[in-house]
Structure 1
Amino acid sequence: MVASFPASSHIDNPYRLNSGEYDSRFSSHAARLFSKTNAVRVRHCDKGYSETLTSELKIQEYLTKFPTFTGTRIILIVQGYSWGKLQITEDGCRTLLSGLGVFSEFMDLLQAFGTKTSSVDETFASRPIFQGEASGSFRLCYLSKHVELNDSEHTKQAVDIYSVRQMGVYHGYDAPNHGHTFVLVNASLTFQQHWLQAYESTPVGMRWMDLHVAVTYAMTYRWREYVNHLEAKFETTQSKSLSVPSHHFAQLSNHTPRTLTGLREAGMRGSDIALTSLSKDPGAEEPDEHVSFADIQGLQVLKDTVLLLDHVLRLNVGVFGGLRDRLPGLAVPGPSLTACSADPKAALADYFVRFLGETAVQAQRVEHLLRRIEGVSTLFRTILDFRALESARYDSQIMLELSQKAHQDGGALKTITLLTLVYLPATFVATLLSMGYIRLTKSKNGYLVPELDEEMWIFTFLTVILLVVTLSYRKFWERRQTQKFEEEKRNGYNA
C-alpha cells in the first residue's frame, strides 16, 4: 500500500485544492507532529472488535483485513501530553489516513496539534469542513475546543488548574457499504468516559450521530467550572481594593507625623508613613494585603486568559452552528441516535440548541468578566497613583522642613562668623604681645617705641615653615581626593 496522504485522493477536486501544497506542509510539520512510535487504538462500536496498532505493519494489516467496513468504528490517535507529539509516525499516519480515504483538508486539522514551537494559529478548521459525493458518501472534519482539569502532577507546575485543549474529529461515511469511520485526534477525557459508559450500557454502543453529540457535549462540559474559577480569582484580587476605605484618604493628616521630630520618633521616612497610613484603618486590624503593582500584573494575565476564552468560545459557537446546519440534512439510512423514539433530526436540533445556549451563556459571562477586570484595573492604577502622590507630598513637606532648618542654621553661622571677624584681630595682637618677642618702651621724647627681641627670627622662621607644610599637605590631600573620585567614576562606568 502506497502511503500517499495527503498528496493524492480520489475525492479531491484538483482545481479546488493544491494537493502538492498539502503534501509539502505535511512533510515540513512532520518533525513536531509525529513521534517515533505508533499507538493507534481501533474499536468497532457494534461488533466488539478492538485493537491497538503499534507499528506501520500492523496498520497495513488492519487496512488489508478491513478493506471495506459496515457499521461504526472509532480510531483514536493519542497525543502524548498537552502540546506533545501524536503517538503515530509520519509514515504510519500517511498509511492510515490514505487507507481510510481521508480527504486532504484534514491536514488543516492535523496542523493544529503537535509540539508548540511558535504562536498557535487558532483558525485551523475553525468551521466544519464538509465534502459530499453523488453516491451519498461524505467526509466531515472539525476542531473542537474543550476544558480539562489538569492532573495533580501537572497542576504543581501549571499556572492554572484548568486548561483549554482541542480535539480533532473526522467522520467519513461510505454509502455503498453503510460504514461510518471516525478518526479522533487527542480525544478528550470527557468524551472517552462518555463513550465507555454508552458502550457498557447499550448493546450497540454509540451510533454515528451519538458520537457527534458526545463530542459537542464535551465542548460545553467544564466551561461553567472554569469561568467560575476565573471569577473566584478575580474576586480575590478585587477584594484588595476594598481593604482601604476611600474616606481614610481624607484622614491622613490626623494619623501622620508632620514634623521632623515626629518622624524621628516614628523611625520612618515620609513615604513609609504615607503608605502605612493608606493601608491601615484607624481602630481596625491592619489588613494582610493591599493593592500593589503585582496585582495589576495579575489582572493583566487574567485578562489575557479571559480574552483567549472569549475567542475560543466564539470558535466553538461557529462549530456548533456549522454542525447544526449540516448534520440534520444528511441523508443516511438506518438508526442514527440511540434511544430516540421521535424524529432524530428534531432531537439533534434540540441538542444543538441546548449546547449553543450554554456556550452563549458562558461567552456572555466571559465578556462581563472582561469588563469587570478592565474596571478594577483602572481602580487599582488610581489607588497606586494616589499613593504615589501622597508619598511625594509628604516627602516634599519633609524636604521643606529640612530646608527651613538649614536656613536657620545658616543664619546662626553667619552671626558667629561676624563675631569672629570682630574679635580675631584683637586676639591676634594680644597673643603676639603676650609672647615677649615685642616690647614697648618709652623713648627720650616720651613716645612708645616697639623693640624686637633677638629670638624673633626663630618665631618667624617656624611660622613660615609650618605654613608651607600646612599648605602643601592641603594641596596633596585635594589632589589625592580628585584622583580617587576619578578612579571610582571609571570603575563605575566599567561596571
Structure 2
Amino acid sequence: MHTIAPLQNNSGRLNPLKPEHYGAIQSHLRYPTFVSCPEKSNIYLFDFISSSGPKTDGPHLFTNSDDFETHIATTAKPHTRIVSICSQNSMRPLGVTEQAMRKLINTYGIDATFLDLAVSFGDKPQSADAGHGAMTVRQKEDGSYDMQYLFAYAEHNAAQGNVPWTIRQTCVFHRYNPAGSGNLWIFFHARPRSKMQQQIETEIISQHAGVSKSWYSMHLLVISAYIGNWRWCIRSLGEEIEKTVDIALTLDLSKADHDKDGLIRLLTPQYLGDKLLPLSSRLKIALETVRKLDEINTVFQSKGFLTDDDSQRFANEMAYYKTTIEGYLKSVEVLEGKVKGISDLLAVALNLKGQTVANEINDKMLQLTSEAFEDNATVRVVTLVTLIYLPASFVSTLLGMNLFEFGDSNGQGFTISKQFWIFVVAAVPLTMLTLGSWYIITKRQVKLRQKRKEERAGSVMC
C-alpha cells in the first residue's frame, strides 16, 4: 500500500494530516472509505469532562459531519472522549467525511498511520489483508500512550443460510494519559448498532462517573464481545467439512452419476480450504494483539499506573484469551489437515477411476484389434482363393472370346482371329494407364503427408 505519511518532521513534531494523504491511496481502494455527503454520517460521541465527579457531556449522535467538526473545534478537550463511527454496512463507507476524520486526527495529534487502519473500511475484509492490523503502541512526548489495532471477528448471518458466518472487523484507537487528561477512544464499526457499540453505551450508562477508570476497560469489551464467535464459526466450517467427508467416503465412482458428483465434490474441499486459510492469519493477528495488551499492562504496572490487583485481573483475562485463541488456531490446523486429506482422497479416487476407464478402453481397443486381425485373416483367405481361381478365370474369359475358334462342323482345328491385335492394343494401354494413375496418386499422398509432418514439426519448435 502507498505510504501514508512520514511520522515526524525534522523538528520531531508530527506532521498534520492533509487531504493529499488520503488521495494518494484512494486509487488503490475498490470503494471509498469515507462518505462524501456530510448528511450521511453516523457518529456517536461521549465526553467525560473531569476526573473529579460525574460531570459528563453526552452522549451525542451526529448525523452530519459538519456538526461533529464544529463540536470538537469549539469545545475544550475533555478528560476522556469516546468517538464511535458506524458504517451503514460492511460494504459501505464509514459514517464520517474525510475532512471530519482529518480534523479529529489533527486536533488530537494522532499519528497518520491511523489512517492506514481506517482505509480497511468501506469494503469487506480482504483475504490479502488478513495479516494486517496488529496492535501497535507509541509513547508520546507528554507521557501518553497511543494504541491502535484492527480486530477481525466472525458474525452470524442468519438471513443467509448458504453463508451462515461473515467476517467483519472493528478498529480501535486508544490514547491513554496516565496523568489523567486528554484520553481518547475511537471505534470504527462495520454496521450500526453493532454488539460492540451497544456494549460501549451500556458501559457508559453503568458507570456513575461516565467511564471506568481502568485503562483497559474498553479493550476488554472489544475482545469479550467478539472473540467467542470464532469458536462457532470454526465449528460451522467443521460441520461442512464433515458432511463432505461423509459423502466422499460413500461415493461410488463406478456409477456415472456418482462420477460426475465426484468432480463437484472435489471442488468443495478446495472451497472450504480457501475459507480456512485467512482464518489462521486473522487469529494470529488477534493473538498478537492480546499479547501486546498483556505486555503494555506489565509496563503500566511497573510504572505504577495501576494497582497490582487491577494489573493481575487484566493479566488473568489476557491469559484466558491467549489460551482460547491458541485453541482456535489448533482447531483450524486440524480442519486444514482434514480438508487436505479429503482432497487427496478424492483426487486419488478420481485418478484411479480414470485409470480404470483407460484400462477398459485399452481392453476394448485390444478386442477390436483382435477382431480386425481376424477379419484381415479372412480377407487374406478370400484373396488367396481369388488368386487361385484368377488364372483359370482369366483363361476361361480369354478363350471364351469370339477371337478364338476351337473347331467347326467342317473339321477345322483351333484358330485365332486376325483381329486379336485389337484386344492387345486396347488392354495393354488401359493397364498401363491404370498403373500410372495409381502411382501418381500414391506419390501425391506421400508428399502431402510429408508436408503436413514438416508443418507440425515447425509449429512445435516455435
Common topology (TM > 0.5): yes
Superposition pairs of residues 122-271 of structure 1, within 5 angstroms: 122-134=130-142, 136-150=143-157, 152=159, 155=160, 160-173=163-176, 178-186=181-189, 189-198=194-203, 207=212, 209-244=216-251
Contact 1:127 1:319 in 2 (8 A): yes
Task: Name the structure 2 match of 1:369.
Answer: 335
Q: Distance in 2 between matches of 1:360 and 1:385?
A: 37
SS in 2 for 1:181: strand
Q: CA deviation at 1:369?
A: 1.2
Amino acid at match of 1:109: L
Q: Distance in 2 between matches of 1:100 and 1:445?
A: 144
Q: Distance in 2 between matches of 1:174 and 1:117?
A: 32
Q: CA deviation at 1:17?
A: 8.6
Distance 1:91 1:196, change over 3 A: closer
Match of 2:67 among 55, 58, 73: 58
The CA RMSD over aligned residues, in Å, is 4.6
Q: CA deviation at 1:114?
A: 4.3
Task: Name the structure 2 match of 1:344.
Answer: 310
Q: CA deviation at 1:124?
A: 4.0
Task: Name the structure 1 match of 2:322.
Answer: 356
Task: Name the structure 2 match of 1:102.
Answer: 110
Q: CA deviation at 1:429?
A: 3.0
Q: Distance in 2 between matches of 1:40 and 1:413?
A: 92
Q: Distance in 2 between matches of 1:187 and 1:101?
A: 25
Q: Deviation per CA, 1:194-225: give whole Å up to 9, x if none.
A: 33454566666663633211111234131011
Q: Establish whether residue 49 from structure 1 lines up as the match of residue 59 from structure 2.
A: yes
SS in 1 for 2:216: helix
Q: Distance in 2 between matches of 1:16 and 1:304?
A: 45
Match of 1:312 among 258, 279, 282: 282
Task: Name the structure 1 match of 2:128.
Answer: 120
Q: Distance in 1 between matches of 2:378 and 2:396?
A: 27
Distance 1:28 1:75, change over 3 A: same
Q: CA deviation at 1:69?
A: 0.9
Q: Distance in 2 between matches of 1:450 and 1:289?
A: 78
Q: CA deviation at 1:230?
A: 1.2
Q: Distance in 1 between matches of 2:312 and 2:158?
A: 38
Range with bigger deviation, 140-149 or 40-49: 40-49
Percent identical pairs in the alignment equals: 23
Distance 1:345 1:54, change over 3 A: same
Distance 1:303 1:423, change over 3 A: same
Q: Deviation per CA, 1:72-122: give whole Å up to 9, x if none.
A: 432123345435433333322211221233233323423433458997344
| Runs (5+) with no aligned partner, structure 1 | 1-5, 246-274, 281-286
Contact 2:46 2:81 in 1 (8 A): yes
Q: CA deviation at 1:170?
A: 0.7
SS in 1 for 2:334: helix
Contact 1:443 1:449 in 2 (8 A): no
| Runs (5+) with no aligned partner, structure 2 | 48-55
Contact 2:88 2:190 in 1 (8 A): no
Superposition pairs of residues 277-288 of structure 1, within 5 angstroms: 279=255
Q: Distance in 2 between matches of 1:108 and 1:120?
A: 15
Contact 2:297 2:315 in 1 (8 A): no
Range with bigger deviation, 72-81 or 380-389: 72-81
Q: Distance in 2 between matches of 1:244 and 1:17?
A: 67
